Amino acid sequence: MSEAVTPGDGPPRSRPARAGRVRRLFGGRPNELCRPVDRTRRRWNVVFVLSFLSALLCGVVVTTAVWDSESRTAREAAGHRHRIEATTVGSAERGVSNRSGGTSRVVAPAVWEYPAAHQHADTISVPFGTPADRAVAIWVDDAGREAKAPSSEAQLALTAAAAGAGAFGLLALASGAVIRLRLHLVETRSLSRWEHEWEAVEPRWSGRMRREQGSGDD
């Protein structure tokens, strides 16, 4: 006759096994072969993983916050930007733009009208080789002055991603440096303690007499 199967029979459950692995990861289960330094090193490795995940979470939060802020700013700026046509009154040439931080660009003298009946004349950015008396699309503000174009979604996404990556990298590097330094100190103390214990054990283990023992000692 086959034995009756009781509710307690069957393969072991995975939950207790997982709980045991978690306890071993944090050094919660006693082990005679596991030194205190091993448990300390294991805990700091766990701290490193948690700090990495925290830095990743902070990066996501910063990315979201920058995206929201930049999108709101871009929408407000877009309400005061107007795309019109200016007419060049001279040929294009290379010049230096003060609005772009002194960088070189191709410019040409041009005139335009905005708002109605308000004439403006200034040098504007144009494609290379633009001749005189050519219509060029530009962005202006409410007063009719040439202004920067509203930021696109791609530019906003790039700015937000760069901010999030910077925050993640800074936090990850800082926490990694601190944990690496802590592990180095743990390893240094462990080696120092090992050398001290070895000095006490080595003479007996190797059979070498201690310095304070004489040749006639037992």
Tokens representing 71?
Answer: 């999108």
**What confidence tens digit (pLDDT) does each residue in 99-145 have?**
555 556 888 999 999 988 889 999 898 888 888 899 999 999 999 99
For the chain, give the mean pLDDT.
79
Span 7-11, average pLDDT: 50
pLDDT band at 214 (very low <50, low <70, confident <90, very high): low
Span 192-217, average pLDDT: 63
Percent of the chain with pLDDT over 70: 69
Percent of the chain with pLDDT over 90: 37
User: What is the value of pTM for the model shown?
Assistant: 0.61
pLDDT band at 168 (very low <50, low <70, confident <90, very high): very high
- Give the per-residue SS3 of 170-195: HHHHHHHHHHHHHHHHHHHHHHHHHH
- Report angle CA 199, 202, 207 to the nearest 5 degrees: 140
First-to-last alpha carbon distance for the chain, in angstroms, is 69
82-149 maps to CATH 2.40.50: yes
Q: What is the pLDDT of residue 2?
A: 46
Span 43-69, average pLDDT: 93
